[in-house]
Structure 1
Amino acid sequence: MRLPALRFSGFSRETFVSLIVVGCVLVFALPIVLALWPSQQPAALPNGTTLDYSRAELSDVELADCAADWIDADSHCGQATAHLDDRATQEIGITREGWVAGLEDGDRVVIQTATPVQGEVLHSFHSVERGTSLAIFAAITLALVALSVGGKGLRAFVSLLVSALFIWLFLVTGVHEGGNPLIYSALTAVLVVTVVLHFTHGFGAKTLAAWAGTVAGVGAAMLAGWIFSSVARLTGITETTSAAVFVTGDIDISVLALAALLIALIGILNDITVAQASVVFSLLGFQGEGGHDHGHSRGGDATYDPHPSGEPATRRSLRKRQPSLMKRALDVGQDHAASAIYTVSFSVVGASLAAFVAAKSYGMPVWALLQSETVAHTIVQLLAGIVGLTVTMPATTLFAIWFARRLRGSVQEQTKAP
């Protein structure tokens, strides 16, 4: 059944349908998010110790030689006097990180104050204060994005900031308070993809196709990751997650690892779906936002048909040449998906490089390294991500062709639309 070529209250039919889909997602997801919203209570360790953080300026810095003996990340190999912003003064211990940073008198730092239920309060170095420099870097990056990418780039940057805040307040805090990591991650993924895609790229058939393809890819990756993890009997306990096990014992770490995969895939799959949807609409000859035809028209004729028959680009002609269109779109999509596969691979390997170097230091052979929890977990994440990529590209292509035919109609209708 074809949708009538109507405009709804000033909106085109594709905008109207896109708004309806986003509205349905929000109506379904927001009540669940509000019901699961964490309490945001101050965190405390299982032994009752509470941690507070404050800014300070250092003086009387004394650093020992941390390289002389084996010292873990939490041990102190120096000390200093910290002058807090509230004018209090505390003697603090300096960790190996502070020694590597080469702390000196006058440096601004963040200190950690551990207050146990019983015993002495402990003040120690946490990190160099980097807030000002990070803000400057962000401003420079934002200016470059505005000059190079324009309005969409600025909207993408805003989406990134809002998504990061939501992930911290909802996902991270909810999991910390004992929530199911998969439920929190699935809700986060759906909401972030829905809001970010439409806020950045606008409401329309192309964005709707990208959204549907991303959801399909994330779902496929989640299913593959769950099957692979179960068959390989992965626990999810690695050097990175061991601290989380200690701090919050009721977190299902194996599920947390799968949830992390969903969040990591959002950006990668979103990149493929937006590009692939644009390819399909460009091959169909539809003009993009701002009247650009992506180079697939001749002499500004939006009805140009690359087929020698010269048949106008109507729904009937589009249906006749759909197999050719599908093949042409997949040819481009395969190149993009292939490059994304090794992009994912290199990023995953790069993130685990320190673990690989540590394994080499212990003299671990390759066959044992590949079967260790850390590396096996990395391999499963990589393979599940690739499964998601392989589903995302053809799914987005199908969605884009269907939405283009059903919601936009023919190219001729587009040129006549008011």
Structure 2
Amino acid sequence: MGHTHLHDAGTPTRAALAARRKANRLLTAILVPLGLLAVAGMIALWPSGDPGEITIADPYATAEGVTIDTGSVQRVGVEDCPSSVTLTQAGVQAPQCQVAHVLPSSGGSAVPVEVPPEVAKTNAIEAGDTVRYLNLENVMVDSGAPPYIFMDFVRSVPIAALAVLYAAVVIAVARWRGARALIGLGGAYAVLAGFILPGLVEGKPPLLLGLVGSSVIMIGVLYFAHGFSARTSTALLGTLFGLGITAGLAAWATDAAHLIGVDNENAYALINASDELSISGIILCGLIISGLGVLNDVTITQSSAVWEMYELAPGASARRLFTGAMRVGRDHIASTVYTIAFAYAGAALPVLILVSLYDRTLMQTLTSGELAEEVVRTLVGSIGLVLAIPVTTAVAVLVVKAVGLSGDRAEHAGDSPDTGPGAAGNGREPARTAAGAGGSAALGRPSGGAAAGEPGTRRGARARRTAPGFPTEDQVPE
């Protein structure tokens, strides 16, 4: 390119646009077939919507004449149990229990709601709480049973408030990208609820369901939240690689570790519901899905790290870029490994406390039926994300170097503010400084000189290494 036109800030140059197209074409040949394969798999595995003969008893179903009412707690105290009213009428001292006097939302006077002992021990019910209770007054007349029994708390308001606060914080900090991420999250749950869960109920292959559904989720979420760009495509390719590794390990580990789910109450209910349901298959699918969030996090970070370092030092070798980005990756590996472990430990804390009280060795505890699933989930997810980091980094380096603008950019870095490699990556960010781009202005030489225009010469490489803004081995930007 013999000359450069000036552009408004934020407007990509022709060279930047060409570089962006070239980088995207480099990934299109790989990602488009994978995307079409995922869509074809989803079409082939799409559930019919008929669960067959599987029936699960609804815990919220009520008998004729019984209703589930809500109301506001006026006061709570320890009184004679309403269930012992016949003893009181017979002159016998009735046992004491916790009773909440609840004002029904439908109106009327407060009713005495008996609180079960396990709930009473927590002392969680207080005046002002909104609760849900069984109204048995039409079926328990003169039976000696309590006509009103505590069922659950109504948590709609605090959960809705947290959801609104979460959305507001995300949008306030991340702005439009945060809003797109939230919408993408909704789409991900739609795939989970409309495709993966019904498919498992109908007995579709769990490995394919998890792999296809997760791939579709990642393709949609990544592009919707981060936009169509070379760096996003690079992160997606690394994510799909990590997803494949995770799926393969999960399939082996589920069988080898005999994860059959009989130690889980909910899984046990599914086992009794139908002979067609494979609990091992459901666990396998869960192992694949559970690591999606962290996997996406590390791949998009690694891809962005490579592009950012290339912006600061476009003359750096591929090996230099890979080494610098892997320093960031190793830090990320160290943090995410224990992040996953602590996340699962927090979710399984009651089980951990329970098994810690057993008289068993540490190895027996970790390999027991109660914890084996969580241990395998942690190990499988961690292996997948760790291997995805070097692969994503390597692909990002290959793509960013294949853009081929180093010589042209160095030649014109002092003339145009928006020919930065960020444009080659995503078209949004200009180069940090002309010097950081290996520009001739920083080196005090003509743009066509050996230092800038001949990046392959020994003299040019030495000049770039000594130019302001070029990071040393110990100063690779993060």
Tell me the TM-score normalised to structure 2 length. 0.63
Asked whether the equivalents of residues 44 and 51 of structure 1 are also in contact (C-alpha less than 8 Å), the reply is: no
Asked whether the equivalents of residues 152 and 200 of structure 1 are also in contact (C-alpha less than 8 Å), the reply is: yes
Task: Give the alignment partner of residue 262 of structure 1, picking from 277, 288, 305.
Answer: 288
Aligned equivalents of 1:244 and 1:92: distance in 2? 32
Tell me the equivalent position of 2:379.
383
Aligned equivalents of 1:206 and 1:94: distance in 2? 57
SS in 2 for 1:57: strand
Cα deviation code 1:36-57 (max 9, x no counterpart): 3334458986477796599742
Tell me the TM-score normalised to structure 1 length. 0.71
SS in 2 for 1:284: helix
Cα deviation code 1:267-318 (max 9, x no counterpart): 0011000111111111111xxxxxxxxxx3xxxxxxxx4xxxxxxx4xxx55
Amino acid at match of 1:390: V
Task: Answer with 27-36 or 162-171: which moved more.
Answer: 27-36
Tell me the equivalent position of 1:300.
none
Q: Does 1:33 align with 2:42?
A: yes
Task: Give the alignment partner of residue 362 of structure 2, picking from 363, 366, 384.
Answer: 366
Task: Give the alignment partner of residue 245 of structure 1, picking from 268, 271, 274.
Answer: 271
Deviation at 1:17, TM superposition (A): 6.2
CA-based RMSD of the aligned residues comes to: 4.3
1:376 to 1:155, Cα distance in 2 relative to 1, 3 A: same
Amino acid at match of 1:274: I
Aligned equivalents of 1:151 and 1:408: distance in 2? 31
Asked whether the equivalents of residues 51 and 202 of structure 2 are also in contact (C-alpha less than 8 Å), the reply is: no
1:97-108 aligned within 5 A: 99=120, 100=122, 101-102=124-125, 107-108=130-131
Tell me the equivalent position of 1:157.
182
Listed as ranges, the gaps of 5+ residues in structure 2 are: 1-14, 80-97, 107-111, 137-147, 410-417, 428-478
1:16-415 aligned within 5 A: 24-40=33-49, 46=55, 52=61, 56-58=69-71, 99=120, 100=122, 101-102=124-125, 107-109=130-132, 127-240=152-265, 241-285=267-311, 296=312, 305=313, 313=314, 321-407=317-403, 409-410=405-406, 412=408, 415=419
1:47 to 1:415, Cα distance in 2 relative to 1, 3 A: closer
1:205 to 1:189, Cα distance in 2 relative to 1, 3 A: same
Task: Give the alignment partner of residue 12 of structure 1, picking from 21, 28, 53.
Answer: 21
Cα deviation code 1:78-136 (max 9, x no counterpart): 89999798xxxxx99976776555287983538799xxxxxxxxx98664332333222
Cα deviation code 1:6-35 (max 9, x no counterpart): 969xx8344566677665455433344244
Aligned equivalents of 1:282 and 1:260: distance in 2? 35
Amino acid at match of 2:373: H
1:112 to 1:246, Cα distance in 2 relative to 1, 3 A: farther
Aligned equivalents of 1:48 and 1:327: distance in 2? 57
Aligned equivalents of 2:269 and 2:158: distance in 1? 29
Asked whether the equivalents of residues 26 and 399 of structure 2 are also in contact (C-alpha less than 8 Å), the reply is: no
Task: Answer with 224-233 or 256-265: which moved more.
Answer: 224-233
Aligned equivalents of 2:177 and 2:135: distance in 1? 40
1:50 to 1:339, Cα distance in 2 relative to 1, 3 A: closer
Deviation at 1:179, TM superposition (A): 2.6
Deviation at 1:400, TM superposition (A): 0.6
Aligned equivalents of 1:388 and 1:112: distance in 2? 51
Percent of aligned positions with the same letter in both sequences? 24
Asked whether the equivalents of residues 51 and 198 of structure 2 are also in contact (C-alpha less than 8 Å), the reply is: no
Aligned equivalents of 1:124 and 1:16: distance in 2? 65
Tell me the equivalent position of 1:71.
none
Cα deviation code 1:362-402 (max 9, x no counterpart): 44443431221222222222221221122111000011112
Amino acid at match of 1:415: T
1:106 to 1:338, Cα distance in 2 relative to 1, 3 A: closer
Aligned equivalents of 1:56 and 1:277: distance in 2? 53
Residue correspondences, number: 363
Asked whether the equivalents of residues 279 and 329 of structure 1 are also in contact (C-alpha less than 8 Å), the reply is: yes
Deviation at 1:406, TM superposition (A): 3.0
Tell me the equivalent position of 1:74.
none
Look at both structures and tell me which one has the larger radius of gyration over its CA atoms: 2
Asked whether the equivalents of residues 197 and 207 of structure 1 are also in contact (C-alpha less than 8 Å), the reply is: yes
Asked whether the equivalents of residues 214 and 269 of structure 1 are also in contact (C-alpha less than 8 Å), the reply is: yes
1:257 to 1:93, Cα distance in 2 relative to 1, 3 A: farther
Deviation at 1:172, TM superposition (A): 1.8
Asked whether the equivalents of residues 50 and 202 of structure 2 are also in contact (C-alpha less than 8 Å), the reply is: no
Aligned equivalents of 2:338 and 2:152: distance in 1? 34
